Structure 1
Amino acid sequence: MTEPLQNTMDRENQVLQNESVTIVEDTIAILDIKEEDDKPLSTTKAVIILAAIFLTSSLVLGNLYYNFPKFKDDEKKYIKIPFSIEDAENLGKVLDHYKNTHYVRVLLAISFCSIFLHTFALPGSFTLAILSGYLYPFPLALGTMCFCSAMGSTFCYLLSLTIGRKLAYAYFPDKIRSYASLVKKHEDNVLFVIMFWRIIPFFPSWLINICAPLVNVPLLPFWVGTFIGVAVPSGLSIQAGKTLKDLSSSTTLWSWSSVLFLVTFATLSLLPIIYKAKLRDKFD
C-alpha cells in the first residue's frame, strides 16, 4: 500500500472519530466521552462480530426446530416466524396440537424467537404475541412476552453499547441528539420515560434500544421500564390471539363478545396516533 493512500485512509478514520466525538458532545454532555478514551471498534470488525452473533443465534433457532417433534408434510410449510396474523393463526393451529405433549418446549421456542427478533430489531414480535395468546393462558402469555421484550431489548442495548456505537453515531446522529435531549430533560424519571415511550411510540422500539446506552440510560431502569411498558401493547395483541382462536374454533362464525373486543382493539390501536402530537407536547 502506497504512503499517500495510507495517509488518506488515516485521515478518513480520524475524521470519522472526530465526528463521533462531536455528536457525543452535542448531546448536552450526557456522555462524558473524550476521543482519547473512546476507542470504538472498526466498522468492519463491528459488522463481523455482529454477523457472528446473528449467525450463532440463528443456529440456536435451527437447533430448536431440529429437536422439535416431527411435523407432518402439510404442517411444515407453516413452521416459520410469523410476520402476519394469517401466519400466526396457521402456526397456532399446528403448535396447538403439539403443545399438549410438548408444553414447555413450544413455549421456549416462542420465547427464544421473540428474544431473537427484539435483539436484532427484526419485525414479527407483534405476531408472536398474538401467537402466544392463541396458545397459552393470558397471564402466562403476557408475562412471557413482557420478559422476552425486556431481555431482547436489553441484548440489543448491550450490542449497541459494545459494538454498535460507531455505526449508530454514523447513521443516527440526529436521532441520538433528539433522544439525548429528552433523556437529559427527564433524567430524574428515566424509568417512567422508558415506560411512556414503550406505550406511546414516539420513537421506534429498535431506536430506543440502540440509542439508550449511548445517552447513559441505566440498564436496570431500561429493563424494568421496558418490561412494564410493553404490557399494554402486548396485552392487546395477546387478547387478539385469544379472540382469533375463539373465532376459528367456535361452531359459530362470530360472537358479540368477539366483535366487541375487535372493535375496542381497533379503537385503542388508533389512540396513540390520534393523541401522539398532544401527548408529545405535554410530555416535553
Structure 2
Amino acid sequence: MAAPRNIVVDTSRLVTRDEEEKKSMDMSCAAELDSPTAKRFKEGRFPLSSWEFAAAFGVILVFSTGLFCLYLSMPPTEYGKLKLPRTISDLRILKDNLGMYAEVYPTKFILGYCSTYIFMQTFMIPGTIFMSLLAGALFGVFRGLLLVVFNATAGASSCYFLSKLIGRPIVNWMWPEKLRFFQAESNVGISCSTTCCF
C-alpha cells in the first residue's frame, strides 16, 4: 500500500474567476483610455476645438461658394428649370433642359455636376442616385461611369473626413451615457466571443 501524500497548496496565488475577469476588464479600459483616439469631454462645454470648427466651417464654405459661383455663371433662362430630380420624370425633364447647356459649355457643366454631386454625397443629401443616372444620360455609359465613380469616392471620403473630425466629439458630447452603454455591450460581446472560441 502506498504512503499518503501531503499536498501543499499556496493559497496566496489563487485567483478567482471574478477577480481575473475584473482585472482583464480594467486592463482593457485602461488601454482604451490610453488610446490616441479616446478624448474626454467636459460636461457643458462645446466639444469641438477651434481648429476642428474652422476645418468644418471651411469645407462648408468652400462647397457653398463654389456652387453659388457656378449657379451665377449659368445663363439666366436656366434658373427656373434647375432642381434636383426626385423621380424618373424629373430626371428626363432635367436631361432635356441641361443637354444643350452641356454641349455648349462642357467644362463648366462637368465642374458644376461634379461639385453638386460631391456636395450631396458629403452631406448625405438624398438624390445622388438620380445624379448618377443623369450622368449616364448626358455623358454616355463610359464617361458617366467614370464621373460617378470619381464623385462618389470623393464625396464619401469627404463625408468620412467630416464625420471623423466633428462627428465623434459631438456624439460623445451629446450622448455620453448611451455611448458608454454601447461600448460596454460591445466589450462584453467581444470577451464572450473570445472565451467561446478557446
- Normalised to the residue count of structure 1, the TM-score between the two structures is 0.44
Per-residue deviation at 1:93?
0.9
Give, as a single letter, the amino acid of the residue that structure 2 aligns with 1:42: F
Task: Specify the SS of the correspondent of 1:77.
Answer: helix
Give, as a single letter, the amino acid of the residue that structure 2 aligns with 1:137: G
Mapped to 2, the partners of 1:167 and 1:134 lie a distance apart of 40
- Is 1:161 matched up with 2:164? yes
Mapped to 2, the partners of 1:120 and 1:43 lie a distance apart of 20
Of 48, 58, 64, the residue aligned with 2:70 is 64
Per-residue deviation at 1:48?
5.8
Of 108, 113, 133, the residue aligned with 2:116 is 113
Which residue does 2:148 correspond to in 1? 145
Task: Specify the SS of the correspondent of 1:53.
Answer: helix
Task: Specify the SS of the correspondent of 1:121.
Answer: coil
Which residue does 2:131 correspond to in 1? 128
Alignment of 1:29-68 (within 5 A): 32-33=35-36, 42-43=46-47, 49=54, 50=56, 53-68=59-74
Q: How large is the Cα RMSD of the aligned pairs?
A: 3.6
**Cα-to-partner distance string for 1:115-149 (whole Å, 9 max, x where unaligned):** 00111111111110111111011011111111111
Task: Specify the SS of the correspondent of 1:164.
Answer: helix
Per-residue deviation at 1:111?
1.0
Mapped to 1, the partners of 2:61 and 2:84 lie a distance apart of 16
Mapped to 1, the partners of 2:84 and 2:57 lie a distance apart of 20
Per-residue deviation at 1:52?
5.5
Q: Is the 8 A contact 1:78 1:87 kept in 2?
A: no
Alignment of 1:73-222 (within 5 A): 75-169=78-172, 170=174, 173=179
Task: Specify the SS of the correspondent of 2:81.
Answer: coil
CA gap 1:71/1:88 in 2 versus in 1, 3 angstroms: farther
Which residue does 1:209 correspond to in 2? none
Q: Is the 8 A contact 2:95 2:137 kept in 1?
A: yes
Q: Is the 8 A contact 1:81 1:113 kept in 2?
A: no
CA gap 1:51/1:87 in 2 versus in 1, 3 angstroms: farther
Give, as a single letter, the amino acid of the residue that structure 1 aligns with 2:69: N
Q: Is the 8 A contact 2:41 2:47 kept in 1?
A: no
Give, as a single letter, the amino acid of the residue that structure 2 aligns with 1:76: Y
Q: Is the 8 A contact 1:92 1:135 kept in 2?
A: yes
Gaps of 5+ in 2: 1-27, 191-198
Question: Larger Cα Rg: Structure 1 or Structure 2?
Answer: 2
Give, as a single letter, the amino acid of the residue that structure 2 aligns with 1:133: G
Mapped to 1, the partners of 2:83 and 2:64 lie a distance apart of 13
CA gap 1:77/1:162 in 2 versus in 1, 3 angstroms: same
Gaps of 5+ in 1: 1-24, 185-284
Which residue does 1:15 correspond to in 2? none
Q: Is the 8 A contact 1:78 1:94 kept in 2?
A: yes
CA gap 1:95/1:53 in 2 versus in 1, 3 angstroms: same
Per-residue deviation at 1:85?
2.6
